[in-house]
Amino acid sequence: MAPSPISGPAHLFRLAGKCFSFVESTYKYEFCPFNNVTQHEQTFRWNAYSGILGIWHEWEIYNNTFVGMWMREGDSCETKTRETKVLLLCGKNNKLAHVSEPSTCVYSLMFETPLACHPHSLLVYPTLTEALRRKWDEAEQSLYDELITEQGYKKLLKEIFEEAGLLRATEEKEIEKKNKKLKSLEFETVEKCNKEYKKLSEEIIRLKDLLTQRGVVYERNTAENTSAEHVIHKVVTAKPSVLNGSKANEHLQEDTGIWNDTF
């Protein structure tokens, strides 16, 4: 799967495209922010492991702070896939400081960086748009006024973070989002189609008026079909005895607006 789009504090974006290594025992770990985490077993065993421990997925957020980066959907491991949480810590240099495996196929990396040293460097609120900040403020006020519960407040925050691209929406929400986008595109297409149909209808009315003015007779059904294709067919199949050699036909030939590229 492809990594999620880059998100979070803008000053951390400069880490994108870089990779940082850490060697422990016979394993080499490599962390590429906003991309993936890999592990390479540095032995001469015939089945030495070398693979992906996780792909950039979403942030872990706690108390208005970016705590760490979740890398998910790594290589398969028994009945699940490998995943890694990268904790961001203040440090003098950008480097991987520690790697552990708290539970089977779930890894924990500690990444030190001077970009995380400022007290406000990992705050979530400043990274949001004005509209999303307003939503957060309204949620805070609703919680204060006891209009929503703590659980309802957390749900609203989760929706805000998902909308900001900081958290990855559930698969159901992703499908719903795609369906909305398709519906939007479909509506635009229909709107454009209606616009073109209106133009053709106006052209048909112009043609009918012109034929009437020139005294050209064309057949009518009791239930007149006003579609572009039907009216054009009537004009094209008008009786030769009416059109050929008549003064009306001469006028029609002089009017270059009848047989134009519209048709």
pLDDT in tens, 3-17: 999 999 999 999 999
Picking from 105, 16, 14, the residue whose alpha carbon sits closest to that of residue 52 is: 105
Backbone φ/ψ region at 42: left (φ over 0), alpha (ψ -120 to 50), beta: beta
User: Over the chain, what is the mean pLDDT?
Assistant: 81
| 179 — pLDDT class (breaks 50, 70, 90) | low
pTM of the model: 0.64
pLDDT at site 82: 95
The per-residue pLDDT for range 25-54, each reduced to its tens digit, is 889 999 999 999 999 988 777 777 889 999
The tokens describing 216, both together, are 């050209």
Task: Name the packing angle between helices 171-214 and 228-236 (round to 10°).
Answer: 30
Chain position carrying tokens 């950039």: 56
Start-end of H helices in the chain? 130-144, 150-163, 171-214, 228-236, 240-243, 247-254
Mention every residue, 6+ apart, whose C-beta is less than 8 A from residue 262: 200, 203
Alpha carbons within 13 angstroms on the beta-carbon side of residue 24 total 11
